[in-house]
Chains A and B, each alone.
Chain A
Amino acid sequence: MTKLDRLGPILLPIAMILIWELACRVFEIPAFVLPSPLLIWGALIDNLYIIWFHASQTLFTTVIGFAIAVVFGAILGIMVGSSRFAYTSLYPMLVGFNSIPKVAIVPVLVVWFGIGAVPAVITAFMLSFFPIAVNVATGLATIEPELRDVLRSLGASQLDIVRKIGIPRSLPYLFASLKISITLAFVGSVISETLASNRGIGTLMTQASANFRIPLVFAGLVVIALMGVVMYAIFAIIEKRMTGWATRGTTFGVGG
């Protein structure tokens, strides 16, 4: 990586913020339409405690929902990927379920569980398990048939094949999906909080916009984005650690 490559992810946001700030000043955009970055920063600092109060709730519901999604999605993926019967019977239902806008389910969840953390956890879970299940299933379903034959001819059961080959083979797919799913989980919990909660970034933003405190709304957005980036980075690091073998070049050998 050159120096420029490394600086890119820092320089680009800084440039964007500068242009934003300039545009707000030059065109005299009112703060209740588009607050300038300085105003947003001010709102962030002034409301630090209240933002933390709400953000910690969002982080909590997201992580819980996501954790359930990882366990459920991985088990579902293993089932769908390793059994033809499970694949043909479950897949259409999964796709159908995933097509339902989750916003439409939140009111139902509120009827069942009341407002608060539970609907947020469930929404986060519902949005994030699908990519995990699909990716794990793909990793399992694409085992080379010859490799399967090698093990089957040795008397291996389907479970042996899944354990020895399927699961390690689907790990890169799993970690790739975790990066996508964690950001989806944030979307889920914020949607739920926006509609029905007393606590959470979504709630904060709804209240702030009702009071025309637009800089605070944007501060909330910034916090969500930051949390998403941090979680994504954590999983990117874990992915690199766990499945380094999958991202290495496969074509260069030594001699022979």
Chain B
Amino acid sequence: MKNLVELIDVSLTYGKTLAVSNLSMKVPEGSFSAVVGPSGCGKSSLMKLVTGLMPATSGSVLVDNKEISGPVSIVGMAFQNPNLLPWRTTLQNVLLPLEVVRPERHQFRARREEFVGRAMDLLKIVGLENFADHYPWQLSGGMQQRVSLCRSLIHQPRLLMLDEPFGALDAFTREELWDVLQAIWLERRFTAILVTHDLREALYLADDVHVMSNRPGRVVRTVSTSAFSRPRNEHTFIEPAFNESVMELRADIRRQRMPIDVAAVSQGASKVESKA
């Protein structure tokens, strides 16, 4: 399969900090990739690099076999915060990208009915077809996040970028939305990159899980999840292989932690004691 996204030896410097360095990664077209790593490892930088919002300091970012030089409009994005516009209804929020992206923005009036149909199809998949005329303040956090997912997919992007989209939700809602996302992905088969720090989430949703190192971030290991059949469900969580993979990934992340000098800590503690 050809790669939709390929990062080759990419570095990115923000001001004086080196956010990522020697980052290489391949995302095949139609696959679901997850990126996990310790906090501050440059996951958000990865988002900005792949979407073309920020140019790489060195190395190359290829999207669709072309080196990118600016925002790539084949991408949809969703974040931890749903960021819905409070003055728009659910349906109007979902339609927002079509008012901006080319060429749809010039056809918005003429093809409005078709676009509304597309939006309603998406809302149906996430179970919100009856909430199209509600305003964001009338929706719960999980429902708002579903709307945000629909908004990120309305312009039929070939690449979906998700930056910890379920990070702020409670555990039940989060698992519910994993299944929602899996259902949409199985139906549409777009390429997806999910940035997360939930290891179970990464293994449950993705085909490939990339582990990133501490800052400056680079990919240290890639784990394939092809052993778990799709569609995945609650039985996946209790498969021994699944839990083993979770443990392995956790060990990888722990290795990336800042080393803690145990000797120094106990010395400091004894000093405090002797003072007292």
Contact = CB atoms under 8 A, between A and B. Distances in A.
Contacts of B140: 253-256
Contacts of A243: 87
Given A144-B81, A245-B135, A254-B140, A154 B86 contact: no
B99 interface: yes
Contacts of B161: 153
Contacts of B83: 144, 146-147, 150
Contacts of A160: 100
A154 B85 CA distance: 17
Interface residues of B, number: 37
Contacts of A149: 48, 51, 53, 77, 79
Given A250-B137, A256-B139, A153 B87 contact: no
Nearest to A146: B79
A152 interface: yes
Contacts of B59: none
B81 to A, nearest CB: 6
A165 B139 CA distance: 20
Interface string B40-72: 000000001001110000000000000000011
B255 interface: no
B122 to A, nearest CB: 16
Given A168-B87, A245-B86, A245-B87, A153 B137 contact: no
A166 to B, nearest CB: 11
B141 interface: yes
A248 B151 CA distance: 23
Nearest to A249: B137
Interface in B153-169: 155, 161, 163
Contacts of A169: 85, 87
Interface in B133-188: 134-143, 151-152, 155, 161, 163, 173
Contacts of A256: 139-140, 142-143, 173
Interface in B223-269: none
Contacts of A245: 86-87, 135, 137
Interface residues of A, number: 28
A33 to B, nearest CB: 53
B126 to A, nearest CB: 10
Interface string B74-96: 01010101010111000000001
Contacts of A168: 85, 87
A155 B96 contact: no
A236 interface: no
Nearest to B135: A245
Given A144-B81, A253-B139, A154 B155 contact: yes
A155 B138 contact: no
A147 B141 CA distance: 17
Contact of B81 (A146, A156, A171, A246): A146
Given A155-B100, A164-B99, 7 more contacts: A144-B83, A149-B51, A149-B77, A152-B53, A153-B161, A160-B100, A245-B87
Shortest Cβ-Cβ A-B pairs, 7 listed: A253-B140, A154-B101, A146-B79, A155-B73, A147-B83, A153-B51, A256-B140
Interface of A: 144, 146-147, 149-156, 160, 164-165, 168-169, 171, 243, 245-246, 248-250, 252-256
22 contacts: A146-B81, A146-B163, A149-B51, A150-B79, A150-B83, A151-B96, A151-B100, A152-B53, A153-B51, A153-B52, A155-B73, A155-B101, A164-B99, A245-B86, A246-B86, A248-B135, A249-B137, A250-B137, A253-B139, A253-B143, A254-B138, A256-B140
